[in-house]
Structure 1
Amino acid sequence: MKLKNKKVLVTGADGFIGSHLVEMLVESGAGVKALNQYNSFNNWGWLEALDCLSDIEVVSGDVRDPHFCKEITKNTDVIFHLAALIAIPYSYIAPDSYVDTNVKGTLNICQAAKENGCERVIHTSTSEVYGTAQYVPIDEKHPLQPQSPYSASKIGADHMAMSFHQAFGLPVTIARPFNTYGPRQSARAVIPTIIGQIAAGAKKIKLGDLTPTRDFNYVLDTCKGFTALAQSDQTIGEIVNIGSGVEISVADTLDLIRKMMSSDVKFVTDDQRLRPKDSEVFRLCCDNTKINQLTGFKPDYSLEQGLEKTIEWFVDPENLSHYKTDIYNV
């Protein structure tokens, strides 16, 4: 299925990955409806930074409301469901809100898609559902391990989405991206935390554990993976990883950023940024064989290339002004 001329809904469009996906979909010729979380300020998040804003329909609301979900999915061909609470530390404080948004929100979108006869639903998962790798690279058959309330809520959401495929034939695909980074990412994530603080002139940066390894993916590669999954009928009813297959420690990533930014900043451990002992995911590395076989997907950006573009964006004073680099973002 080609996305050109399709009517597409993106939930969570006002966020980091969602805003980049909206841009990519507009470029592909899709008619895009972008869901922004309702707020009384009429603020559309990162959608307001898009050059293509006049080419999309922005609607404000909340996926936690089933009646609203039924309304916005009418006359929609494809849904990219990205709306979610994603901050792991905050899930320790407010786990109930993660169930409401991630599990019940997914239920509402799937029910609405079923009732309105949508052609495709791409539901967003996360590599966090795998927990610390029992083997690498991690394929889609790897056991699921809920090592945080966030992870548990995403496992629940994934199962809810897949149940609608199994029980009702809803054409669902579960996209499971590994660690995405790039322009517009929240300061709660490690890469923008480092780049933002160095750009703001910090001499010491407080961080959590630097030993875990991650499979970092530039945001445009993640979005390319989403669109590839939507355009392949072979991915219906499948769970599919999106990742590079390259593993690097957080410490080595930070050293690379420090070198690329010609900085002598020092990294210090901050206890409040450490996850509880059994909650830390110590190793993630993607097996992307399945997405390659089903869609031909391969990443376009190396880590160095992606970091170069990310640094270039963050050091722009106008972009950096959106961040409070001196505050720890839970």
Structure 2
Amino acid sequence: MDVLVTGGAGFIGGHIAEAVARRGHDVTVLDNFEPYYDLGIKEHNVDAARTAADESRSTYELVEGSITDDSLVDDLVANADIIYHQAAQAGVRTSVEQPQKVNEYNVDGTMNLLEAARTHDLERVVLASSSSVYGKPEYLPYDEDHPTNPVSPYGVSKLASEQYARVYNEIYGLSTVALRYFTVYGPRMRPNMAMTNFVSRCLHGEPPVIYGDGTQTRDFTFIDDIVRVNEQLLEDDSADGEILNVGSTDNIDIRTLAEVVRDEIDPSLELEYDEAREGDAEHTHADISKANDVLGYEPTVDIRDGVSKFIEWYRENQEWYDPLVRSS
């Protein structure tokens, strides 16, 4: 099978590309290498997927370009069977500062991809959405019927892209699945997230910094669970046309997360607090019963085990991954 992974040099896309290549499928990655964070991390994602392809004797091709380039997108989609659409301008705070850029990548880029997929009659498009589409909770946990009132341009862009995917399924018969990810973490994750900041600071003997009062809650999902459900959609068509929550149900407040990280690395450290950041949701918590009913999805890694796994990986890869080590 020929698989196109947009954003395939990024965190989630890189892990999906690696897993698909390891299964022996031919993989093409499209990534524009936006310098949103250290590109060395993306290079490690590429290396991991290329190594997996070599070991399985499949092919791996890296194309540097943007999903906003409709001609390039059309050329790549014409040679694909299935698309994992992970490319996006990430970051809630970035979207507050640059809403037009976020719309260009996340909405216009998605439209380019869906139109090309419709034209070339692809088997399936699996699209990465986000818990950010929900916004302020009217109740928790969020199920897919919860009102969608995003509180950031990023959330709006993800809502628009997943709804376009749904419409392309309903009107044109294109097989689409949108997965609403809930705060994904794990090896090679973006370095500017709360968990990476906590780990990095604690490893350097500095107290973790919490933005706001720490009562914000998140449903943290380990990358292995995200990859597993995406792999299933290579062949499983039972979710066609669906929008599904993919989370862990393992809800934790940010203060407790900081304490869990701190206690594993250096229990003597105190916690520090700073002003809350604009655009961040107060709470996320996934109801995954629909994904369980449709795909049999069940998370396998709880937050404490996941934190331990991540810290162990972080220590082993600190030389190239840790921003404070790289800058010294």
Give the TM-score taking structure 2 as reference length.
0.90
Is 1:255 the equivalent of 2:259? yes
Q: Is this contact kept in 1: 2:136–2:150, CA < 8 A?
A: no
Seen in structure 2, the aligned counterparts of structure 1 residues 60 and 105 have a Cα distance that, compared at 3 Å, is same
1:11 to 3, 6, 9: 6
Partner deviation per Cα, 1:211-230 (whole Å, 9 max, x = no partner): 11111111011111222244
CA distance change for structure 1 residues 266 and 63 in 2, over 3 Å: closer, same or farther?
same
Asked if 1:275 is matched to 2:277, the reply is yes
The aligned residue for residue 191 of structure 2 is 187
CA change 1:39–1:295 in 2 (3 A) is closer
Structure 2 letter corresponding to 1:8: V
Task: Give the structure 2 partner of residue 67 of structure 1.
Answer: 71
Aligned to 2:311: 311
| Secondary structure of the structure 2 residue equivalent to 1:121 | strand
CA contact (8 A) 2:24 2:53 kept: no
Hey, what does 1:77 align to over in structure 2?
A: 81
The letter of the residue matching 1:321 is: W
Q: Which residue in 1 is equivalent to 2:210? A: 207
Residue identity matched to 1:307: V
Q: 1:255 to 1:38 in 2, by over 3 A?
A: closer
Distance 1:134 1:260 in 2: 35
Shift of 1:326: 9.4
Secondary structure in structure 2 of the residue aligned to 1:204: coil
SS at 2:93's partner residue?
helix
Counterpart CA distance in 1 for 2:181 and 2:231 is 13
Specify the SS of the correspondent of 2:321.
coil
Deviation string for 1:69-114 (max 9, x for gaps)?
0011112111000000111111111111000000001001101111
% identity of equivalent residues: 29
Say whether residues 1:34 and 2:34 are aligned partners.
no
Letter of the 1:103 counterpart = V
Residue 226 of structure 2 is matched in structure 1 by 222
Q: Which residue in 1 is equivalent to 2:157?
A: 153
C-alpha change, 1:191 and 1:38, in structure 2 (3 Å) is closer
Unaligned runs of 5+ in 2: none
Distance 1:155 1:325 in 2: 35
Work out which of the residue numbers 86, 89, 92 in structure 2 matches 1:88: 92
Q: Tell me the SS of whatever aligns to 2:297.
A: coil
Task: Name the SS of the counterpart of 1:125 in structure 2.
Answer: strand
Residues 256-290 of structure 1, C-alpha deviation per residue, up to 9 Å, x if partnerless?
A: 1111223423322223xx223xx331121111111
Name the counterpart of 1:324.
323
Which stretch of the first structure deviates more once superposed, 256-265 or 12-21? 256-265
* 2:13 maps to amino acid: G
Letter in 2 for 1:235: A
Kindly tell me the number of residue pairs found equivalent between the two proteins.
315
Given that 1:196 and 1:320 are in contact with CA atoms closer than 8 Å, whether structure 2 keeps it comes out as no
| 1:207 partner SS | strand
SS in 1 for 2:94: helix
C-alpha spacing 1:52/1:143, structure 2 compared with 1 (3 Å):
same
Native 8 Å contact 1:228 1:297 kept in 2: no
Determine the C-alpha separation between the residues in 2 that align with 1:171 and 1:57: 24
The letter for the 1-side match of 2:277 is R
Amino acid at match of 2:296: G
Query: Could you report, residue by residue, the CA deviation over 1:165-206 in whole angstroms, capped at 9, with x for unpaired residues?
Result: 12211111111111110111112211111112222x142333
Corresponding position of 1:52: 52
Secondary structure at the residue paired with 1:233? coil
1:112-170 CA deviation, whole Å, 9 max, x = no partner?
Answer: 11111110000110011111321122111111112011111111111222221122111
Q: 2:180 aligns with which of 176, 180, 188?
A: 176
Cα distance change, pair 53–262 in 1 and its aligned pair in 2 (3 A): farther
Displacement, 1:38?
Answer: 5.2
Q: CA deviation at 1:30?
A: 1.8
Confirm or deny: 8 A CA contact 2:19 2:52 kept in the other structure. no
SS of the equivalent of 2:208 reads strand
In structure 2, distance between residues paired with 1:229 and 1:285: 23
SS state at 1:321 partner: helix
Gaps of 5+ in 1: 1-5
Match of 2:138 among 112, 134, 137: 134
Determine the structure 2 residue equivalent to 1:3: none
Q: CA deviation at 1:241?
A: 0.9
Q: Quick one: distance in 1 between partners of 2:161 and 2:104?
A: 10
Tell me the equivalent position of 1:108.
Answer: 112
1:299 aligns with 2:303: no
Q: Which amino acid aligns with 1:22?
A: A
Report the RMSD for the aligned CA atoms in angstroms.
Answer: 2.1
**Aligned equivalents of 2:19 and 2:47: distance in 1?**
14
- Compared CA separation, residues 169 and 48, structure 1 to 2 (3 A): closer
CA distance in 1, matches of 2:148, 2:186: 27
Task: Tell me the TM-score normalized by structure 1.
Answer: 0.89
